[in-house]
Amino acid sequence: MECRPGCGACCTAPSITTPIPGMPGGKPAGVRCVQLDEHERCRLFGRPGRPAVCASLMPAPDMCGDGREHAMRWLGHLEDLTRPA
């Protein structure tokens, strides 16, 4: 499966605890990554500075569903399940 154009949910919904160029402290869940371009595409895709957690997210029907709203809910639920106590 390919990334859905104009989505960017995987770059918005999850928290990232490692540094991102332009966001040295990472980013909280629900905050748009500064590396998303105007087309909701990652400027770091395939580059060494891309956080490992980002590289580990692969588009899949269960995550992406039928649109961005589904992906935001699914990733938000995953965020809740993996949040440290």
Q: What are the residue ranges of helices labelled H in the chain?
A: 52-56, 61-64, 68-82
pLDDT of 83 reads: 82
For CA atoms 25, 26, 30, 36, give the dihedral sign. positive
pTM: 0.87
pLDDT of 38 reads: 94
**Tens digit of pLDDT at every position of the chain (85 positions):** 888 999 999 999 999 999 999 999 999 999 999 999 999 999 998 898 899 988 888 999 999 999 999 999 999 999 999 887 7
pLDDT of 1 reads: 85
